[in-house]
Structure 1
Amino acid sequence: MTQKLQTRSGGRSARRAARTSPLAQHLRPIRSGMEGGLYRPLTQEGMERIHQAALDALEQIGLIDAPASGVAYLTGAGAILGDDGRIRFPRALVEDAIAKANRSITLFGREPIHDLLLEGNRVHYGTAGAAVHLVEVDGQNYRECGVQDLHDAARIVDELDNIHFLQRPMVCRDIPDNFEMDMNSIYACCSGTTKHVGVSFTDPSYVKPAIEMLHMIAGGEDKWRERPFVSNSNCFVVPPMKFATESCMVMEECIKYGMPVLLLSAGMAGATAPSTVAGAITQAVAECLAGLVYVQAVKPGHPAIFGTWPFGLDLRTGAMTGGSGEQALLTAGCAQMHKFYALPGGAAAGIADSKLPDMQAGWEQMCSNVMAGLSGLNMVYEAAGMHASLLGFCFESLILGDDLIGQALRCVRGIEVTDETLALDQMREVCMGGPGHYLGTDQTLGRMQADHVYPTYGDRTSPKEWVERGKPDLIAKATARKLEILGKRAPARLDPVTDAAIRAKYRIHLPY
């Protein structure tokens, strides 16, 4: 008996030691690219009707304001330019574009460990947006954000396990020249993280010099084209049903240089899109289908993400409601339509209308993030850090969002039912002559990390222990983590030779 107890104790000691070490990626309870798709707010009939309505809209209404190059591409592919200047899309043309589009896209990181495979119901969470303010929790202030803030956001994202990509979340308000702003945005992001980066361009002529910078970072054009680690977030439409002329020209340039594109349609339900959830989804689907035809006409097979991003609106005030239940439904419904077409897609979730990382922000961010993940959305944009309906970005909220998304991903993972997880043998052992509880059993200890996600910052102590620990504050914990990350050199920083070459060619506003 003594020998048996020693053996069990030794096994537990080994397991405790193993639990202090990081889990291998394939053993983690949550990770990038987990499969969602179990939540389906739309019926099959509902999806069919949205699809048919979108085809009707494209065939009967069409889109206006395409650039001359876009008109040539689209009419050459079979679209029809009307006397009213609108380009209409025959059903067969749209269905052919859907059939030929990629079913699987890989968005590369600068390091392969951060590659994102977009297909089926695989879920990835990340940032996005164009916030003009940084939210400072100390003093509860909003101030204009700059290039240093964008770089710091990238550095923080690089350290967070559950934030899988960085799409530029802030605008560099301290750089008035648009060309310099675009070049510095790319530099700030790429020198802060090796995860996949999404950026925008304000002018088509800026794409070529930006690509030249990316060639320098990648180590040559061939290496860039092999693994393009930056994508273009492209608002190619101005809802309702109008092409954004210059953005379309940007898109054409990005396609030329091998940069993946996010076809982003961001109508406001009740303002620039129908006020109903179904109507807003229908318009977004129609606009993105037009974008898909456009991309296929420029370069068949080019990687394009189906970016239906309809937003909610508070019809009492006209204010955006990114944290509403309607927003969560819009995003989940869009994800379903991506699956209807079997296309890699993305939409927005995790936006807080609250101005600070408080209880309101918590419920707003969790509601849409969970529903987006459960619906199997490939790319969940704006999932962390966004406040004031996209006007403000907060570092502490970004860090706390990593915890929140961890719990959302645990919901995405769902419930596995196997002989082991049913635990009948364990019940038998515990209940029939055993201790009468499951604390400390081999099975409990062996699966505690594989089955459970533990918050890094969330507090699960008793009130007594909380007091004994000095009543730790959630925001203060996040601030301490922020300072820890920003207090060391960025692991993703560029090598000195490349950095010097970039600084010699471009006016980089970040200090060395």
Structure 2
Amino acid sequence: MNTSSGTTRRGRRGRRAQGPGVDDARAVVASVSGGGLSPLTDRDVAAIDHAVRHILLEIGMAEAPADVASLICSVGGAIGTDGRLVFPPDLVDRALGGVRRDVTLFGQMAGHDLALTGTRVYAGSGGAAPMVVDLETGDYRPSTLEDLYDAARLVDQLDHIRFFSRSMVARDMPDEYALDINTAYACLVGTSKHVMVSAATPQAVRDIAEMCWIIAGSRRTFEARPFLSLNINHVVPPLRFSSEACAVLLQAAQLGIPFHVNTFGQMGASSPVTIAGCVAQTMAETLAGMIVAWAANPQACIVFGPRPMITDLRTGGMAGGSGEQALLTAAAVQMARHYGLPNSTIAGATDSKVVDAQSGSEKSLAVTLAAQTGANLITQAAGMLGGLMACSYEAYVADNDMLGAIMRTLNKPQVDAQTLALDTIADVAREEGHFLGQSETYRRMQSDFLYPQISDRRSPEDWIADGGRNIRDVARSRAREILETHYPAHIPTLTDASLRQRFDIRLPPVLTNRG
């Protein structure tokens, strides 16, 4: 027993010392696919699809703006006697058959491409929180533009957070337009990964597009490799269009900017209290937006974004960390897969207020189910606390390890004569009695294992001797280290100067020119 324990401790120390293995092994989660989990039966999927088509034809969407109504009627839709816009089955089928499936979102630099095909899975940030957890004091405070820039810089260095969706609101901006323009700028200079932001008006869409064209060098260059996309919440559940968001959607479609057609309904509040009913309504609302986008521009890069959320019926608040939320999200993802659409969803909206066991368990459950079901993009998967009310730097770092482990589970094990290793088993059983000295063991140590960056695998004695810090403390130290040293410089100084000359950029140059 003592010999075995000693061997285990030496093995742990040895693994921690193997720097090259840590870096090389990240390749095992570089491109992974889900789709192994299907919470709905084929019969369930067919029943929900039937309900979706019934909602679109028999109930329809209220408050359709005149240009949206005219556009949909021109491709086969109609205005019902009650004034609601309806979508006949033939129109739904033509849109599903015509919408683009070959959607790829790019980063500003190589290595950050997101090919939204099949059941490929990428997890990233998001949330639009009004608060940030101060890295030094731990207090919740209003978030600022500099906080958003810091979040982008941090994510830029975290391998398993594959894209940066605007995670907090810069509450120090004077108006909506300044917020939209400065949010886009802070995100784009803060990371070379793909960026997702939002816009409140068509003018903001046009100016964000121009910002991207300046960075890319031309409109054509950006359109060939779009490194920014827009989140658009085109509907107000239940079954009402948002006229402002529809105007943004039509402008984005015209300019060729990729965008996410998102629907946020809350089960039991703005959508039915059952998972089946909530998913059916959410699918109908999201498909309505997708059909509008397709009618506006059949070549538009559209990401189908059902985001049904759970309501805690005791309080009326969101319960993003619940088991019901994880199941609801997985069901919505399966329906998006059924329609064969590039898709995104939310998973990771923990109700915990700090980086703790509740946060880890709730996020892991929701993100795992979404990934295993095959969501292309999982937003809000890292960095968020308090039911999406706050963004946390240490949460980003801790969640990065969690995401790496989850994505690792999507790599199916290889089973063949080599991996079954019958000859090796026979040799070792008759000789050394352990596999640590085998060349295959060392080789696969470098390629088959993903080693955590901050999670602690040392013995209790070693951990205590090193201060016995919990994961929140370690994550805070790592976040502080990154933010003190990493200032991305992927946008040339002259380009940055052009952006500042053209737009009212509120982020001080002293911050963005440190690279």
The reply to whether TM is greater than 0.5 is yes
Match of 1:424 among 419, 422, 425: 422
**Residues 418 and 18 of structure 1: CA distance in aligned 2, closer, same or farther (over 3 Å):** farther
Is the aligned partner of 1:488 residue 2:489?
Answer: no
Mapped partners of 2:276, 2:373: distance in 1: 16
Q: Partner of 2:235: helix, strand, or coil?
A: coil
Q: Partner of 2:345: helix, strand, or coil?
A: strand
| CA distances 1:134-158 after superposition (whole Å, capped 9, x unpaired) | 0136443110001001111111111
Mapped partners of 2:387, 2:25: distance in 1: 37
Is the aligned partner of 1:89 residue 2:87?
Answer: yes
The one-letter code matched in structure 2 to 1:468 is A
Alpha-carbon offset, residue 449 of structure 1:
3.1
Mapped partners of 2:348, 2:224: distance in 1: 32
Q: Partner of 1:194: helix, strand, or coil?
A: coil
Q: Partner of 1:487: helix, strand, or coil?
A: helix
The one-letter code matched in structure 2 to 1:496 is T
| CA distances 1:180-200 after superposition (whole Å, capped 9, x unpaired) | 111000000000111111110
Mapped partners of 2:28, 2:402: distance in 1: 15
Q: Check whether the contact 2:25–2:449 (CA below 8 A) recurs between aligned residues.
A: no
Matches for 1:107-506 after TM superposition, within 5 Å: 107-136=105-134, 138-432=136-430, 434-506=431-503
Alpha-carbon offset, residue 450 of structure 1:
2.3
Mapped partners of 1:489, 1:447: distance in 2: 32
Alpha-carbon offset, residue 325 of structure 1:
0.8
Mapped partners of 2:420, 2:336: distance in 1: 34
Mapped partners of 2:293, 2:417: distance in 1: 48
The one-letter code matched in structure 1 to 2:208 is A
Worse overlay, 141-150 or 410-419 = 410-419
Unaligned runs of 5+ in 1: 1-12
Q: Partner of 1:499: helix, strand, or coil?
A: helix
Tell me the TM-score normalised to structure 1 length.
0.93
Mapped partners of 1:132, 1:319: distance in 2: 16
Alpha-carbon offset, residue 22 of structure 1:
3.7
Worse overlay, 501-510 or 395-404 = 501-510
Q: Check whether the contact 2:160–2:403 (CA below 8 A) recurs between aligned residues.
A: yes
The one-letter code matched in structure 2 to 1:171 is V
Tell me the TM-score normalised to structure 2 length.
0.93
Unaligned runs of 5+ in 2: 1-13, 510-515
In the alignment, which residue of structure 2 is the partner of 1:4?
A: none
Worse overlay, 318-327 or 481-490 = 481-490
| CA distances 1:115-150 after superposition (whole Å, capped 9, x unpaired) | 100011100000112100001364431100010011
Is the aligned partner of 1:19 residue 2:7?
Answer: no
Worse overlay, 362-371 or 472-481 = 472-481
Alpha-carbon offset, residue 422 of structure 1:
1.6
Worse overlay, 407-416 or 233-242 = 407-416
Alpha-carbon offset, residue 21 of structure 1:
7.9
Mapped partners of 1:413, 1:211: distance in 2: 37
Mapped partners of 1:499, 1:454: distance in 2: 37
Mapped partners of 2:306, 2:476: distance in 1: 34
Aligned length: 494
Worse overlay, 330-339 or 305-314 = 330-339
Alpha-carbon offset, residue 66 of structure 1:
1.8
Mapped partners of 2:135, 2:316: distance in 1: 27
In the alignment, which residue of structure 2 is the partner of 1:29?
A: 28
**Residues 477 and 392 of structure 1: CA distance in aligned 2, closer, same or farther (over 3 Å):** same
Q: Check whether the contact 1:260–1:303 (CA below 8 A) recurs between aligned residues.
A: yes
Mapped partners of 1:17, 1:387: distance in 2: 33
Mapped partners of 2:115, 2:139: distance in 1: 38
Alpha-carbon offset, residue 444 of structure 1:
1.4
Q: Check whether the contact 2:61–2:239 (CA below 8 A) recurs between aligned residues.
A: yes
Q: Check whether the contact 2:134–2:140 (CA below 8 A) recurs between aligned residues.
A: yes
The one-letter code matched in structure 2 to 1:475 is R
Alpha-carbon offset, residue 24 of structure 1:
8.2
**Residues 90 and 40 of structure 1: CA distance in aligned 2, closer, same or farther (over 3 Å):** same
Aligned-residue identity in percent:
39
Mapped partners of 1:320, 1:132: distance in 2: 15
Alpha-carbon offset, residue 416 of structure 1:
2.4
Q: Partner of 2:387: helix, strand, or coil?
A: helix
